[in-house]
Each structure stands twice: as structure tokens, then as C-alpha cells.
Chains A and B, each alone.
Chain A
């Protein structure tokens, strides 16, 4: 039996066995941000420990930064200012590279890793953020960790972990009009459930996945955690290598060719041993969106909402709670439901391709009256390149706010929040109650193009009505 990429990477980074089930795993790249790191740095201080390998660490600021007047310091929001200063201070004292607000490389941690070529195949990557799974798009083994583990990585560059099992997910079939990477991962989560991935790393493959661009692959891997899988990855191939070549932290010249050979050797063997295999056929699949309060409560835009009595018994309570919070009725369709807010951004869908996709819908159209529409690039680089293409003009002309980069309305730790019972068409990744900053606020997760369609229609809409081509 051959080995999966996951097992090859694990074995290469294993330092020691700590117990029968737990290994000490070396972390090749540690990404740090302002929210989950201050207590970890404090713990180092208390023990008088340095950061063990500063060269394997990089920090940025993304969660709490405002998306308006981002560079005007000190922030009026004193808690945000305190957190930013803590990270500025910690990175200085501990000698860590910091892509702060004065850096052209600043942005959401899961966007700047790949775009700077820090994220490379065959690496182990950890970050105090559950969407670290994003980096798996490059064939890295990447996962979110808690603050005590951030401390462990800072102090030792290692973690105490149990090996995950690997589930291979093949996505096959014909991708229809208006179906984006977001629709594919929502379908996967709906099919396997929000707890389906517990104990697993997901290896995504098959013809549909292989045909995805790197940006699309990142969207898929990003939401592995919404399916319960701590890590998700795609074997690196020519698409991966082409994306990486020439990026700042990627080896250049002959070293690049050598790196590609090494990366190729890390991919899963054809006869790799998987704990489980699943095939998902997306032929005929309509654009997907969530209707409830967890990311597995997904429906097609053309489908009626589920009857609680027809749901699996253990899901019924959750489904009832979702109807209660969302105010929708079983059996009806979401199309036509008025939306109050539209948000394009986040580490799921805040990359250049996402703004291009939304702009295709917005070009020559206007956001419906009464809809607050927000476009938040995932990084400074995304913002700059979008502006070079004139995308910002399209968004502005349509009536969107074009903002500075950050996490923004994905989790509302900055001033961007829903209010009251507002309904938000959102390209982010979580629809938990309160996630977007208002305890009664409501979130519908969907692709950036679907968000744009909802913004223009003023209600949940089928993006295919805005596109030309066979369905």
C-alpha cells in the first residue's frame, strides 16, 4: 500500500512519539495574528523563553483592523488599539517578521501566506485560527490551533498531536453555470455533515477539483473545518507550481526545479491507503447557499427548504432552532427573500478571482435601494491588483463600499457589523448565530457572485439569471 501526502508530510515532520497515540510534530511555518497570540507571548515572557525559530514565523494583523481609516492611529476603538500594539510590541521584542499596516504584504493571514509564497507544498503549517486549513490547497498539512498551542509552537516549533485519518473525497461530474468553488464545498459539507470530518483530514481530488484554479482550491480547503475536518488538502500539481513560481518566498532558478521535484514526490501515491473514500457528483447541481445557523444547513437556490420531520432525528432540533432564528418557513424557497446587507470578502472568498466574479455580475448594474453592500479585499495586494484592473470602479459604481483589507464582517471584531435582525448575503464561512456581530443577525453563506446577484436584486437571487450560457 502506498502513502498519502498527509502521511508523508507527517512522517517527515515527526520529531518523536510522545505516547502511543500522540506525536511531537515539527511545524515548518507558524502564522501569527493579533487575536490568539497575546496570551501565548505572555506565557513565553513568564517562563523567560525566546521564540525558537523566528525564521519560521510570520505575523500579521487582520481580525480587528477597521476597514475605513485603517492607517489613522491610535484607533478610536481602544481595545483594537491595545491588541494591535501588543502584537507590534511582541513581534519587536521577540524578533519576528511582521507584516503590519505599513507593509504591502498585510492582509488576512490565510490570504497573505499563499500570495507571498510562504505556503508551499509538503509543509506543516499551524496558526491560531481554524481556517488554517486553507493552506492545504497547496498540498500542505495545515490546521488551526488554540492559544496554548500557539505558545508551544513559539517556544518549541512543535506540537503534541494525534495523527488524523485521511478521507479521500473525489468530486466528479459537470460543473454547471453559476457553480463556483464555494458551491462545491457547501455541497461537500451538506453531504458529509458538519461533524462528518471529525478525526479526519480531507484529501480533495477527482476531475472537478483538479480543474480548479489555486484560488478556487483555497476556497474549498478553507471550509474543511466547517465540515469538522481539521485539515483539508489537494495534491500539488502543475497548477500549484505555476502559481508559486516567482513569488517572494519561493525558491528561484535551479532551486525552483529542485523544489518542484521534491513537491511532486510528496503527493499521494496512486495506491495510497485511505481510511475512507467518498465520491460526490455535482452534475446538475444548482448554486448552493446556507439557510440556517450552521454551515451544513445548505440548500440549492432552486430547492424548497427542508421539513424538520424529514430530517435525520439528531438534526431535527438544530433545524427547528434554525427556523426559529431565521424566520423562514419549511417548504418554501429562499429566492425572493429580501436581504439587507451584502458582503464580499473573508479568507474564503476575498481573493482577486472572487472580486472578478462578483464584478461580472455588478458591471453596469446597481445595488438595490436599501441594501448596504460592502467589498473588503482580503489583503493589500488583492486590493491593489483589483484596483489596477478597475474592479473597485465597478464595485463603487454599483453602489458597493470599497474598503481596506481585513476580516471585517466575517466575524465583526471591528466596526463592520450587522444590526438587529438584518439578513446578510455573505461570501464568508460561518453562519452561526451572532457571528456577524448582532445577536439576532442572520447570515446566508454563498459564492461572491451570488452575493452580487442578491445585492443587485435586493433579495436572494439565482446568479444564473445574471449569466449567459447553458445551465
Chain B
């Protein structure tokens, strides 16, 4: 949440394959880790209940897999991030070290939350995603590239078409993904809409009546 504008044109790194459809934000970060007033420390708890059993012993899970250690590009399937609107989910992934997520499709609030914190979300056709997942599973050291400017996905020397939400892409390329500065540009325009709308107030007067 810093006010610094930063332009994001590409993400390079290794891949982390997380297969499965409809992976919801309760799985990404269980609700009990929302019991805090900062986002600090969320990275360690990402997929907590999938990664560890009831006694805290690690289970086989891509996020525990040594071979993916240090990976920055998460590769998922359909409807990733469905369910609760908690921004804690993308925050946890970002803090784990994920900088871009590529998949078949994403839940809307989740994708919007990613866009607002500069976490890149891009989609590819199903056959490409499935093929890519298999290749990265075979060779986790493959160098990958998410090229936001040219809408290309790179895997070693090959390039594949990538799709992105146009507004999110423009915001990354323009360094305006942190929307607050953009929204604060024209106070007068905001005030005009405020005044145009019917009078409304949640505040109460001394008698406990709405103002």
C-alpha cells in the first residue's frame, strides 16, 4: 500500500504448478489467519491447512515442494480465488513470493484484488495451461516469462499468447495499479456526484435521529 507508482512490464522467474479447479480463498488463507490487524506474516500461512496436517506435520503440497522453492509464477486452472473477497488471499501469495499467476480463469473479486496490489493475473487457453503445467512439473527450473507488454507467455525459448484484463494490464504498464492516486485526482468531480445524489447520511444527531 505505498503511494509510489511502479511500472510492471514483465515477470520472469520459475513456475509453481498448483493443479485443480475452484480453489477458493478459504483454502488460500484460512479465516483464522484473518484475525490480525496487519497483513504481516501471511506469506507463511498460505494454504496452511492443505500444507500441514492437524499436528502441524508437512504434507505433500506444491507449496511445500522443495523443487519449486523461490518460484515466482503460479500456474493454476479454472475459477482460481473464488469465494470470500478477502484481500488476505492475494496478499498471502504475494508475501510468499508469487509475482504473477497464470491460469485458465479467475474469480472476479480475487483478480481485482490482485490488480490493486500489483500481483499480475493472466489467462491462457486450457490446452496451453495443461501443457505448461506438465512441463514445469517435469522441469521446475524452466525459465518462464510473463510479458505484459506483448501479451506473451515465455517458456524457455517458446512464446505463447496470453490474455489479460485490459484495465489491469494498462494499470500495470502505466504504473497506476495502486488506484488511490488516480482516484484522488479530481476531487471536484467526486463532490459533484455526492451533491447530485439524494441527501443521505448515516450520522445521527443528538436525539439519535439520522442527520
Contact = CB atoms under 8 A, between A and B. Distances in A.
Interface of A: 12-16, 18-22, 24, 26, 28-29, 35-36, 38-39, 42-43, 46-47, 52-58, 63-64, 79-80, 82-83, 86, 97, 118, 120, 128-130, 143-149, 151-152, 155-162, 194-195, 198-199, 225, 228, 230, 248-249, 251, 259, 262, 294, 314-315, 317-318, 321, 411-413, 430, 432-435, 437, 439-440
Contacts of A18: 167, 182
15 contacts: A24-B182, A28-B197, A42-B1, A82-B36, A83-B35, A83-B37, A146-B90, A146-B112, A149-B179, A158-B190, A249-B210, A314-B78, A318-B20, A430-B26, A433-B26
B189 A130 contact: no
Nearest to A315: B21
Given A20-B166, A29-B200, A152 B183 contact: yes
Q: Which among B27, B38, B85 has the greatest number of chain A C-beta atoms within 10 A?
A: B85
Contacts of B210: 248-249
Given A129-B85, A152-B180, A195-B79, A21 B167 contact: yes
Contact of B167 (A120, A151, A162): A162
Interface string B86-112: 111011000000000000010111001
A318 B21 contact: yes
Contacts of A55: 200-203, 211
Contacts of B82: 194-195, 228, 294
B116 interface: yes
B204 A97 contact: yes
A146 B113 contact: yes
Interface in B174-188: 178-180, 182-184, 186
A198 B170 contact: no
Given A147-B87, A155-B183, A156-B183, A79 B35 contact: yes
A53 B194 CA distance: 9
B26 A15 contact: no
Nearest to A122: B198
A413 B34 contact: yes
Nearest to A13: B193
Given A129-B85, A144-B85, A38 B38 contact: yes
B54 interface: yes
B204 A157 contact: no
B109 A130 contact: yes
Interface of B: 1, 3, 20-22, 24, 26-27, 30-32, 34-39, 49, 54, 78-79, 82-88, 90-91, 105, 107-109, 112-113, 116-117, 165-167, 170-171, 178-180, 182-184, 186, 189-190, 192-194, 196-198, 200-204, 209-211
A198 B111 CA distance: 11
B31 A413 contact: yes
A149 B116 contact: yes
A128 B85 contact: yes
B2 to A, nearest CB: 8
A112 to B, nearest CB: 11
B35 A64 contact: yes
A461 B129 CA distance: 43
A314 B113 CA distance: 26
B55 to A, nearest CB: 11
B116 A148 contact: yes
B202 A29 contact: yes
A95 to B, nearest CB: 9
B38 A39 contact: yes
Nearest to A87: B37
A59 B201 CA distance: 13
Contacts of A321: 20
A15 B35 contact: no
A340 B189 CA distance: 56
Nearest to A127: B85
A140 B204 CA distance: 23
B198 A194 contact: no
B183 A160 contact: yes
Contacts of B54: 439-440
Contacts of A145: 85, 109, 112
Contacts of B211: 55
B189 A411 contact: no
Contacts of A47: 3, 180
Given A15-B189, A130-B109, A155-B183, 14 more contacts: A43-B180, A82-B36, A118-B202, A144-B109, A148-B178, A151-B1, A194-B22, A195-B78, A195-B105, A198-B107, A318-B20, A411-B31, A411-B84, A433-B27
A160 B182 contact: yes
A160 B179 contact: yes
Contacts of A259: 198
Q: Which among B109, B183, B194, B197 has the greatest number of chain A C-beta atoms within 10 A?
A: B183
A157 B78 contact: no
A430 B83 CA distance: 8
Given A36-B86, A55-B202, A130-B84, A82 B37 contact: yes
Given A39-B1, A430-B26, A432-B27, A58 B167 contact: no
Contacts of B109: 130, 143-146, 225, 230
B202 A155 contact: no
A158 B183 contact: yes
Contacts of B87: 36, 39, 128, 146-148
B180 A155 contact: yes
A462 B1 CA distance: 50
Contact of A15 (B83, B84, B190): B190
B83 A130 contact: yes
B113 A148 contact: yes
A35 B34 contact: yes
B18 to A, nearest CB: 13
A228 B79 CA distance: 9
A230 B22 contact: no
Nearest to B104: A314
A161 B109 CA distance: 11
A55 B205 CA distance: 11
A63 B116 CA distance: 24
Nearest to B36: A79
